[in-house]
Structure 1
């Protein structure tokens, strides 16, 4: 389809959403939801351009529009009362250079990583599931684990953004310094990220194994030792029972590998593949029990070919400075009776500090406390103020794409570069074309 045809095409229903000309009315079409199904988007007007030029034209003509990624956010950060723009129909053109790979922003990690592996290169880390888009993950500071590993956004070396005027702007770490540091975790506020260049390294193998029945006393006593045990480590627990508490260890085969002990930190080496929620089937999980495989096959918890959901769920995550993490763990253990009616499982991971202004790990080595909840929004709304108040002494930062109840003024106080970020946003979007209710409330107030 050429640009003229795209702009003149009447609204059609594609994939449950409407592709409409920017001057058209929103047709009556089935409502669209996010991945978890807990949020119905406020607009059925969805643009799905097929070229960057079409993206520019849509943005240039639109009064208000919001970028939409893989729909994995649990809150309204990607919502719009007006229109959304998805890049899912843009061609997947991938360019390799020495030490980098350039990809369309809409590409999902699960689609990219086998291609990287074929070229003998890898990324430094991956999130727990590979189904998320590159641009969306970086824009919200999504992360994996490892005390030496920054979040996924720290791999970005260059990005191309369509600003509010419809201009294609390039920013790079090498040439744009602080402006680049402000733009990478952009929260969809600077424009539509059409292309991202990521840092790569030679491909490597990973070995994964799990310990079960880890005493919570051991988690508290050896907290830092556990997270430093390997390249990437996750602790799963309900903060109440030994039976729920697991340690997932992912070692790089090209680094020093510790012997696989039959017992570690009081836990027992798993003799079977398990799911983080033990009652659920482990079929969708990546291989364990000392399995060695390519980085992309074992760094995530879930395989690309499976839907990683345990059903309808909600998610919350709070980031604290690493030195405060053991104390946070003790607070959560003391709250387990309040948490468990809603809590499916909690995961603890570590993230290296970075210089990205709106990153949840900006300026501090961090530990993330993640909560997967049963989908009871009314109950979670009642619980979140209590949970956040209990953790408030630790200057928590919530994950930008998950559920939280923090007051906007408190959230804004956690980001020392917020005023600089606002100025950068105003440079790219002086009229507020990309703003929505979420960003207006939490960023601009």
Structure 2
């Protein structure tokens, strides 16, 4: 694998704020090292340090008053192992850049998130996901990790290590991940169809309607607005009356009023997996960034009941909402994954960029979802104590003590959830 041609402008060395602009980093110094040895020296001498990816987290989990390190300056080359079916890549590489190179070599990763703009390490560390009943989140495709530990030493772990399931979704709290080894599969083609006006009772069937499926609603109607179906190219198109919907006759954007040109190609035209599985094109800005996001995962069997529990709040949700997306993710064994041992449905809310207006609605959504043991997406906004939803929470706290006894990678937000002994 070789360095890709530029597809979008390179990010600044280390930005002073996240992508949405609602978090301004508190770091005393920012670094963009160009070698692994430089990363090791920075970590070893720092009192507090964190790695930052592409800034697509909406909370302060990754903020630090110490040193902030971007890994985007490390060499972008990867190593494809055809015999083992893996690729080893630098942590700061974006999924979109990895995907174009993998496809050229005849390979793919099993799934992608809605944005191809996010870094591999950042997405994995927060259990970011795509959709599909048989598809795990992106972290489930990790076969190995290389990380710089608190003393600056380099540690490599893989699935043979009994700690591995606790180290993949790591929130950046165990060290600075510098390389990841990912499972790959032969490249494949996808056709994307958009259906409109889904009856609510057909939600479960819709989520099973494709290799990857997403349902969108603005909470203003008794029907769900859009269903994005991403089917293998050799599968038939949905029939004209599929689940009581109608076919979109032109490309659409999930957020009303946004340009569909930013989105991946629809209308059933076949194309490479990496140009259909995300919702947005790598060469375009998906939105203005003037937004906030929250997401909670509930058990797949509870999806309809969870939506019904939110229905009395529909008007209040709609008043501060841009769009809500519903996706499904397969169960896994990763300790801090929202899908740990539970097939899940993710309820994702893209809010307006007004924290004061959003806050009380976010709280109400969490309260209404509480009977379903919701697990929040680690990179989004939430109030709920996550310890109540993760059975291996205390096991991860033990890993924190093992890898970072002095709290070098700690942040105020981490301390809220993982209290020190």
Quick check: TM above 0.5?
yes
CA distance in 2, matches of 1:424, 1:418: 10
SS in 2 for 1:444: coil
Deviations 1:390-426 (A, max 9, x none): 11000001110001111x3xx2121111111111122
Give the alignment partner of residue 77 of structure 2, picking from 78, 81, 93: 93
CA distance in 2, matches of 1:162, 1:311: 32
Give the alignment partner of residue 156 of structure 2, picking from 170, 173, 184: 170
SS in 2 for 1:300: coil
Query: Which structure has the larger Rg over C-alpha atoms?
Result: 1
CA distance in 2, matches of 1:419, 1:333: 34
Matches within 5 A, 1:19-98: 32-98=16-82
Contact 2:237 2:268 survives alignment (8 Å) = no
Deviations 1:79-103 (A, max 9, x none): 1122211111100121010200000
Give the alignment partner of residue 146 of structure 1, picking from 124, 132, 135: 132
Contact 1:16 1:32 survives alignment (8 Å) = no
Contact 2:132 2:329 survives alignment (8 Å) = yes
Aligned to 2:12: 15
SS in 2 for 1:286: coil
Give the alignment partner of residue 114 of structure 2, picking from 99, 104, 128: 128
Give the alignment partner of residue 322 of structure 2, picking from 344, 366, 384: 344
* TM-aligned CA deviation for residue 43 of structure 1: 2.1
Aligned to 1:416: 391
Matches within 5 A, 1:238-249: 238-241=218-221, 245-249=225-229
CA distance in 2, matches of 1:109, 1:16: 19
Deviations 1:119-156 (A, max 9, x none): 10000000001000000000000000000000000000
Q: TM-score, length-normalised on structure 1?
A: 0.89
Give the alignment partner of residue 292 of structure 2, picking from 307, 314, 326: 314
Aligned to 1:118: 104
Give the alignment partner of residue 263 of structure 1, picking from 241, 246, 251: 241
147 and 357 in structure 1: CA distance in 2 versus 1, 3 angstrom threshold:
same
Please say if 1:435 is aligned against 2:410.
Answer: yes
Aligned to 2:211: 231
Aligned to 2:8: none
Consecutive unaligned residues of structure 1, counting only runs of 5 or more, are: 1-13, 18-30
Query: What RMSD over aligned residues (CA atoms) do the two structures have, in Å?
Result: 1.5
Deviations 1:157-200 (A, max 9, x none): 00101010111000101x21x30100000000000000000000
Please say if 1:444 is aligned against 2:415.
Answer: no
* TM-aligned CA deviation for residue 311 of structure 1: 4.3
CA distance in 2, matches of 1:348, 1:160: 33
CA distance in 1, matches of 2:64, 2:268: 46
CA distance in 1, matches of 2:336, 2:273: 28
CA distance in 2, matches of 1:415, 1:244: 30
Aligned to 1:302: 280
Please say if 1:384 is aligned against 2:362.
Answer: yes
Contact 2:13 2:31 survives alignment (8 Å) = no
CA distance in 1, matches of 2:87, 2:58: 29
* TM-aligned CA deviation for residue 232 of structure 1: 0.3
Aligned to 1:281: 259
Aligned to 1:213: 197
* TM-aligned CA deviation for residue 242 of structure 1: 5.6
Matches within 5 A, 1:348-387: 348-387=326-365
Between 1:429-438 and 1:416-425, the stretch displaced more is: 416-425
Q: TM-score, length-normalised on structure 2?
A: 0.94
CA distance in 1, matches of 2:124, 2:237: 35
* TM-aligned CA deviation for residue 310 of structure 1: 4.3
CA distance in 1, matches of 2:13, 2:134: 41
310 and 331 in structure 1: CA distance in 2 versus 1, 3 angstrom threshold:
farther
* TM-aligned CA deviation for residue 243 of structure 1: 7.5
* TM-aligned CA deviation for residue 42 of structure 1: 1.4
Equivalent residue pairs, number: 408
Between 1:162-171 and 1:81-90, the stretch displaced more is: 81-90
